[in-house]
Amino acid sequence: MRSLFWNAPTRILTRIMALAALATATTCTGLAQTAPATPAQPAQVAATDPPAAPGTTTTHPAASTATPQSPLEQEVEVLKARIDQLEKEVRQEHASTLQSSSDAAALTAAERNLLGLQQASVLHAAAPTATPAMVKAVTPQEPAAPAAPAAKDPHAPAFSDWDWTWLNGNPRNKDTAYDSKFFTPEIRADITYNYDFNRPQDDTMSGSSELFRTNEIQLEQFGLGGDFHLDNAHARFMTQFGMYSTATIRNDPSYSKGQWDIGDADRYLSEAYGGYQIPNVMHGINIDAGIFMSYVGLFSYYNFDNWAYQPSYVSSNTPWFFEGIRIQIFPTEHLKIEPWIINGWQSYGSSNSRKGIGGQIKWTPYPWMNVISNNYGVGHDDFEVPGRSRLHTDNSLEIKYYDKPSNFIDKAAFSITADAGCEYGAGVNCHNDKNGNFKQSFIGYMVYDRTWVKKDLFGFTLGGGQINNPGEYLVLVPPINGMSATTAALNSPYFQMNAGDAFTAWDTSFTVDYMPRQWFTWRWEYGYRHASIPYWSGKGGMTPPAFAGAAWGVNNNAPTQFACMDGSAVPNPGGPYSAGQVPYGTTGTLGPAGAPGRALSYVNSYCGSTPSGPHGGVWFPDLRRDEQYIDIDLMVKF
């Protein structure tokens, strides 16, 4: 019923008020346009005096006789008549309803007060009389009290309040392609073409954990996986089909210890762990076990996430992963403390009996700063050398020093990473000492600068670094005749890696990224690398000939032995030597300048000292001190 009471009167009332406003505007306009500037004119007095009652003649003190109505007054009379008609329509339409209830009676009284507009009221509206609304509009108001800030979540996820897609080592995706309550999938594809200007005939590149084959299009990694999450339990896995599944494994000797080939068991998994998040404690505590990324050396294992494809030595030569237990503690939204209990230094198993411990501290005090410190120690990580411990510290600072999203150059940032470490025990020390132990240490740095342009459509990175590693214990083993970290630990005739052996190197690179979508990157990169000893693959390559006179060769499955020019391996000479070894001697130096001294007579007697000898002579890999390369990369991450 109330709807019937109010809807129609409201419509009529709206029309009445519109007519009144029109009358007001017309009156004011007419007065302004017709009144002379002289203040004694009767029309001006009429504008300020109270109006007369309807139906009477308006008189003014300045006029003793009646005057005919002006056109303005006639228009006002028409408006008054229209208002009277509207009043009658309202009363007739609701007369029966308004009389049927006490609510209607009350409404009738209110309606009469609203709609019973008299001629005098309508005309008085034309006068510039201040209303409460007008007074309020011109009166200075007290400023509104600021809204109370929303209560801060004491358990908000860490690092979730700022945009960290600019960081080196972080994926740049701002959105999640797909998500559900239980599972968030992740898909990665990394395809690369590399060209080594040394042009090795066996297409083999060395000294890298990213570049493996030259003048070929290769699948670096195809990763399928994602994150499972439900009721504070979580798990993650990511596959690594492609070059990673063979190149990463060969840098870890631990899988060769004992039975049950864990190298084959784990080679197709880059990450695989499960864990639990303790709820409502600080900003999270995660306890995880399995294979997880280390981020020692700042760069991510996944090239899509990085500013450059081939990182410098302090990243490329340090661990990409660990296997063990980690505990992630987030005391604040911008601090992570992450202790590790792990099998060893980038290892699926333990090279010896003692495990490694370490951890990461990550601090982001501002949206333009990231500080990371990784530290490792205690573990016995030299294969078949129990009693030798390793220490290492890795520290990075990233600063975004320019951020103007609307400009052509929209962002710029730099990173600095500094590493130091050493080994001690079993004949080596962090410094040479009076007992004659060899110095076994590592020191290095790298610096990168990144610039984004045209709303992150393009990215440009310039960087490089340097290392000094006496003892070569963190130098990546060249794949000479299929040599791996395991075979190098047993015997390496062509690349010794003896305690105290000197090794220094430096590199630089320039990278251009084209990023038309947040899921996709085209990359072009040029790099130059130098080492103090012959290390990079040269024209002759690193693979012995398949037979005498062969254009290129195949591995002879004997990387711990010297090879002859027909591909045959020099056999064990017998005596107190391990399988495949040949004895040190004093009769001469075998091989090119700088090669270790060996029993020249024994090796030459087997292979022959000339091409006409029994096996065509002794074979040596072609190693160079310098390398230039380019890589072109297509990378996708959902």
Q: In the numeric block, which tokens belong to residue 358?
A: 């370490």
What pLDDT, on the 0 to 100 scale, is given for residue 599? 54
* Per-residue pLDDT reduced to its tens digit, 249-302: 888 888 888 888 888 899 999 999 999 999 899 999 999 999 999 889 899 999
As a whole number of angstroms, the distance between CA 505 and CA 171 comes to: 29
What pLDDT, on the 0 to 100 scale, is given for residue 414? 97
181 Cβ partners below 8 Å, 6+ apart? 230
Please state which of the ranges 53-57, 221-225, 397-401, 527-531 shows the lowest mean pLDDT.
53-57
Q: First CA to last CA across the chain, in angstroms?
A: 60
* Per-residue pLDDT reduced to its tens digit, 376-423: 998 999 888 888 999 999 999 999 999 999 999 999 999 999 999 999
Task: Please check whether residue 485 is in contact with residue 351, taking contact to mean a CB–CB distance below 8 angstroms.
Answer: no
Beta strand pairing call for 183-196 and 216-230:
antiparallel
Distances (CA, A) of 360 to 274, 338, 634: 19, 5, 31
What pLDDT, on the 0 to 100 scale, is given for residue 140? 52
Burial pattern 570-604, b for ≥16 Cβ within 10 A else e, equals beeeeeeeeebbbeeeeeeebbeeebeebbbebbb
Higher pLDDT, 31 or 90: 90
- For residue 72, name the pLDDT band (cuts at 50, 70, 90): low
* Per-residue pLDDT reduced to its tens digit, 429-459: 998 876 778 899 999 999 999 999 999 999 9
Higher pLDDT, 136 or 345: 345
- % the chain with pLDDT above 70: 73
- Range of 182-191, 293-302, 475-484, 605-614 with top mean pLDDT: 182-191
- For residue 583, name the pLDDT band (cuts at 50, 70, 90): low
Q: What are phi and psi of 615, to 5 degrees?
A: -125, 25
Please state which of the ranges 9-18, 120-129, 228-237, 350-359 shows the lowest mean pLDDT.
120-129
What pLDDT, on the 0 to 100 scale, is given for residue 137? 47
Judged by phi (left if over 0) then psi (alpha if -120 to 50, else beta), residue 534 lies in beta
Higher pLDDT, 105 or 238: 238
Residue 8, pLDDT above cutoff 50: no
Mean pLDDT score across all residues of the chain = 80
What pLDDT, on the 0 to 100 scale, is given for residue 83? 73
Q: Is 2 helix (H, G, I), strand (E, B) or coil?
A: helix
Q: In the numeric block, which tokens belong to residue 249?
A: 């494994």
As a whole number of angstroms, the distance between CA 102 and CA 348 comes to: 89
* Per-residue pLDDT reduced to its tens digit, 137-180: 445 555 566 666 667 788 888 898 899 999 999 999 999 999 99
Q: Please choose, from the candidates 261, 233, 232, 237, the residue with its C-alpha nearest in 3D space to the C-alpha of residue 249.
A: 261
As a whole number of angstroms, the distance between CA 307 and CA 460 comes to: 8
Residue 227, pLDDT above cutoff 90: yes
What pLDDT, on the 0 to 100 scale, is given for residue 488? 86
Judged by phi (left if over 0) then psi (alpha if -120 to 50, else beta), residue 512 lies in beta
* Per-residue pLDDT reduced to its tens digit, 490-521: 878 888 788 888 999 999 999 999 999 999 99
